[in-house]
Amino acid sequence: MRSLELQPLQIGNVAVWPPVLLAPMAGETGSVLRILCKRLGAGLVCTELTSSHGLFYKNKRSFEYLRWTDEERPISAQIFGAEPEMMAVAAAMCCEAGADLIDINMGCWVPKVAKTGAGASLLKDLKRAAEVMSAVVRASSVPVTIKTRVGWDGCIGSALEMGRTAEDCGIAALTIHGRTAVQGFTGEADWAPIAEAREKLRIPVIGNGDVRTPQDAERMFRQTGCDGVMIGRQALGNPWVFREVNAWLLDGRELPPPTGWERLEVAREHARLLALQHRGSEAPETPLPAIARGQLAHYLVGLPHAAAARREMVRIETLGDADRVLGGVRRLLDADPREARRLRFPEEDPDPLAASGAVG
């Protein structure tokens, strides 16, 4: 493959390199996954979507989403809501917390978000969307971006209309997921609206949807002309996807997938960082947050006896419990090293025990 002549993704005064980004995903893209993806080559990472209502009313859990480390920079803080005043206050709080960018979620189709008029519902109400975007831009001391979908249902709302409105409101960049809100994650992503937006808008356009391999990322760049590519569910339990995509795009090199041992090592680091961040300890008896169960189970996909190991993983309580499960899988790999060297991640996670709560 002839390597692409990629340029840094310029979002206001923030330069993103490489232009391969981690998508915000509810219940998944906490600080630990963001750190691991940055270490393995993600150019930009983003928080989970955070409720402007929760920030406005000083909900403790909402403020936990605004915790990050310098290792994650540049960091984008994603907020959602349909009330311009609350969104402005939330954006100011994110800036005060040290966010490098603010992202407005205009793509979440999950009913508990969309039924409030927020998320993808704003595709159906451009006037309200403009009020929200303008309020956030005025309140922010950093560049503001939005993430949306190609439309609500194929008839109502479009990414191009939203993009034109966003430009008028001072939005610095636009991410488009190639499915409608009604589709959710079903069917195939349509990249044509991403190409249309890139052709007709002045602001940078980032493509998202069905980027599972380095070759997919190349096709999205070539077919849409987009300024950046955002990777979501394929990064769950697989932060190496950024290393592989960058090697292919920048040097034309196809890297081998991580070995089973590498996957277990990073899964252990994921668990350790969760324990440190949530409890300040890495002793075996350190309790892990409930989110650890699903997050760690992603690393086990495709490994020997993965189904049994994942059933154990979703019942863990402590760091020691996680070590026990990972250690059991490692012993299986040590007994047959060939299994550890020929593993590949499936394109879709087959096990509902660790299904993502990702939205947007």
8 Å CB contact between 73 and 43: no
Whole-Å CA distances, 225 to 182, 200, 216, 231: 26, 11, 13, 16
User: Does residue 231 sit in helix, strand or coil?
Assistant: strand
For 68-191, where are the alpha helices, taking DSSP H only? 84-97, 111-114, 126-139, 159-169
- The predicted model scores a pTM of 0.91
* Tens of pLDDT, residue by residue, the chain (360 residues): 556 789 999 999 999 999 999 999 999 999 999 999 999 999 999 999 999 999 999 999 999 999 999 999 999 999 999 999 999 999 999 999 999 999 999 999 999 999 999 999 999 999 999 999 999 999 999 999 999 999 998 878 899 999 999 999 999 999 999 999 999 989 999 999 999 999 999 999 999 999 999 999 999 999 999 999 999 999 999 999 999 999 999 999 999 999 999 999 999 999 999 999 999 999 999 999 999 999 999 999 988 888 899 999 999 999 999 999 999 999 988 887 776 555 555 554 444 333 333 444
- 129, 106 Cβ separation under 8 angstroms: yes
CA 88 → CA 48, 103, 124, 143, distances in Å? 18, 12, 21, 13
- How far is it, in rounded angstroms, from Cα 263 to Cα 310? 14
CA distance 30 to 67: 9
Q: Which residues are catalytic?
A: 108
